[in-house]
Amino acid sequence: MSNNPMAGFYKSKNAFRYVYLLVLIAGALCCSGGKQSTALTSGKTDQQISWKHAEAVLDSIRPPVFPSRTYSIKDFGALGDGIADCTEAINTAINTCHNDSGGTVIVPEGRYLTGAVHLKSNVNLHLNKGAVLVFSGDRSKYLPLVHTRFEGMECMNYSPFIYAYKQKNIALTGEGTLDGQGHLWWSWKGPWRGQIDHKWQDGMPSQADANRRLYKMVEENLPYEQRIFGDGYNLRPNFIQPHGCQQVLIESITIINSPMWIIHPLLCNNVIIQNITIESLGPNNDGCDPESSRNVLIRDCYFNTGDDCIAIKSGRNNDGRRINVPSENIIIQRCTMKEGHGGVVIGSEISGNVRNVFAEDCIMDSPNLDRALRIKSNTLRGGTVENIFLRNIEVKQVGEAAILVELFYGNETGNNIPVVRNISVDHLTCQKSQYAILIKAHKEQPVSGLSITNSTFRNVIKGVKIENANTINFNGSFIYDSNGSLIQVN
């Protein structure tokens, strides 16, 4: 584990200041078609405070700090044979550490079979090198039900594998591995056209009926305490979910084979996710889903996922609008995205809005990665997406579009037209794609303030397709077809 999880922030300050000078010069040119965002300081243009705002967010994020006390789970009865149930031993060690005013709970080398692990304030759960937590397929190990969200909708469901509710100063660190044995859960997805066989066949249990039931409860604004799921309903749990927590660190671990969403900070503030390796190609296996959370740093992570690599969310439909907590101030640095539906994604559960997202120095490369930047919603989910900034993004190839805005997602319709504005992409290179830019928006609310500067798109098969967007700033950028001929952007 790094001695200083914030190391590297301050090394980049001079670079931030240099970029800020460049942004000031370019400010009059970029996002000229966009509206002034209510999320930004009055009297300043969006570009003038863009990356300067990111620097301020970085300066504000602080890692948790723990007392020097350590507690080995073996001292509480855990056996690293991969057979004995260690659920009670692990949670007793965590509770003892918490009651002693905090410290680090050590998972030594070995394979430990466990059910739900519940983190508590001032506890760092640290997996030593060679340590593996293997999560049981016994559904009873994830009871009692807990307050959670399933795809942006509040409910009482199985506990996430690693869960913390309204805790402060917590961490999950080390060089070990978390194995979710996702194949024991994936069939509950029902029909799926993913990369791997999830073993579902006609007549087998699936989440479809429960999903419709939960959807109806959300539309009727039924209190979440009355939305009871768990046994018999087949709603898969998320892997790691700090819910309503502050000062969260997730660092250096490897995560494989999740039931569905993998790292899911929900209603959290001050979150650091760094040096994580994720290999999980199952259905709905999003790598990291900050939802209704603010001041989140995701850096130096590797994503190889069955769904979006990073997907920023803020609640679905009535729940998102009722709770009304946006995701904001999200920083993404130096991440690598391989397979997945999208690299940096916003949506589709964004009814509570998303703003102030900054991604830089990322590499995306796989024929099975569909898009680099993806924004998705529809008129049922709605939401406002604003102030999204990407720079220095290297895309070797994507299956569909380098930049995609799709506001008819899932063919759901309602009375909440999504708003997308103030999107800036600078120094993006893409070597192969079907589309360089693909936008599908509404006439009543076109995409505004889209700026793509100093970027190059090569081997573009279908060029550019734009339905309902204001004038795009395309300064210093070029699109070439598969023959090397320049494609004009009208």
Residue 22 pLDDT > 70:
no
291-305 confidence digits (pLDDT tens): 999 999 999 999 999
Domain ranges of the chain: 1-60+308-490, 66-241
Given this model, what pLDDT does residue 270 score?
A: 98
Exposed / middle / buried, residue 447 (Cβ in 10 Å: 0-12, 13-18, 19+): buried
Give CA–CA dist 250/297, Å, rounded. Answer: 10
33-45 confidence digits (pLDDT tens): 333 222 222 233 3
Give CA–CA dist 241/146, Å, rounded. Answer: 11
3-state secondary structure 24-79: HHHCCCCCCCCCCCCCCCCCCCCHHHHHHHHHHHHHHCCCCCCCCCEEEHHHHCCC
Mean pLDDT of the region 119-135: 98
Give CA–CA dist 159/383, Å, rounded. Answer: 28
Nearest to 298 by CA among 327, 328, 271: 271
Contact 450, 472 (CB under 8 A): yes
Residue 349 pLDDT > 50:
yes
Q: Tell me how crowded residue 444 is: count the other CB atoms within 10 A of its CB.
A: 8
366-411 confidence digits (pLDDT tens): 888 999 999 999 999 999 999 999 999 999 999 999 999 999 999 8
Helices 50-60, 13-26: inter-axial angle, 10-degree rounding:
160
Residue type for position 226: Q
3-state secondary structure of 15: helix
Asked whether this chain's domains 1-60+308-490 and 66-241 adopt the same fold, the reply is yes
Quick one: pLDDT band at residue 165, thresholds 50, 70, 90? very high
Give CA–CA dist 307/207, Å, rounded. Answer: 17
CA angle 339, 383, 390 (to 5 degrees): 45
Residue 480 pLDDT > 90:
yes
CA angle 159, 161, 167 (to 5 degrees): 75
Nearest to 136 by CA among 161, 105, 173: 161
Given this model, what pLDDT does residue 10 score?
A: 36
Given this model, what pLDDT does residue 168 score?
A: 98
Given this model, what pLDDT does residue 489 score?
A: 79
Quick one: pLDDT band at residue 271, thresholds 50, 70, 90? very high
Mean pLDDT of the region 312-327: 98
Number of DSSP helices (H) and strands (E) in the chain, helices first: 5, 34
Q: What value does the mean pLDDT of the chain take? A: 91
Give CA–CA dist 99/122, Å, rounded. Answer: 9
Quick one: pLDDT band at residue 13, thresholds 50, 70, 90? very low
**DSSP, res 236:** P
Q: What is the CATH number of domain 1-60+308-490?
A: 2.160.20.10
CB proximity list for 79: less than 8 A, separation 6 or greater: 86, 110, 112
Q: In Å, what is the CA distance from 420 to each residue of 353, 444, 447?
A: 10, 12, 5
Mean pLDDT of the region 5-18: 39
Class of domain 66-241: mainly beta
Residue 49 pLDDT > 80:
no
**DSSP, res 184:** G
199-254 confidence digits (pLDDT tens): 999 999 999 999 999 999 999 999 999 999 999 999 999 999 999 999 999 999 99
For the CA atoms of 281, 284, 287, 292, the dihedral, rounded to the nearest 10 degrees, stands at 180
- Please state whether 322 falls in left (phi above 0), alpha (psi between -120 and 50) or beta: alpha
